[in-house]
């Protein structure tokens, strides 16, 4: 069962290294939206 985290880590790192500009932009926009929503919900 210990091979599952290693498999996901290797898959994630491979995707990160082979990411193109469009995928990188998508990741940045997604992180920005999540951050905005988290900050908006804590300011209440």
Each residue's pLDDT tens digit, 19-32: 999 999 999 999 99
The model's pTM: 0.61
Q: How much is the average pLDDT of 4-29?
A: 91
The pLDDT score that the predictor gives to residue 27 is 92
**Residue count of the chain:** 44
Matching residue, tokens 């498999």: 7
Return phi, psi of residue 10, to 5°.
Answer: -65, -40
């Amino acid at each position: 069962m210990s091979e599952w985290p290693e498999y996901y880590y290797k898959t994630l790192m491979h995707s990160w290294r082979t990411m193109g500009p469009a995928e990188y932009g998508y990741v940045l926009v997604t992180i920005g939206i999540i951050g905005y929503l988290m900050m908006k919900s804590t300011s209440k």
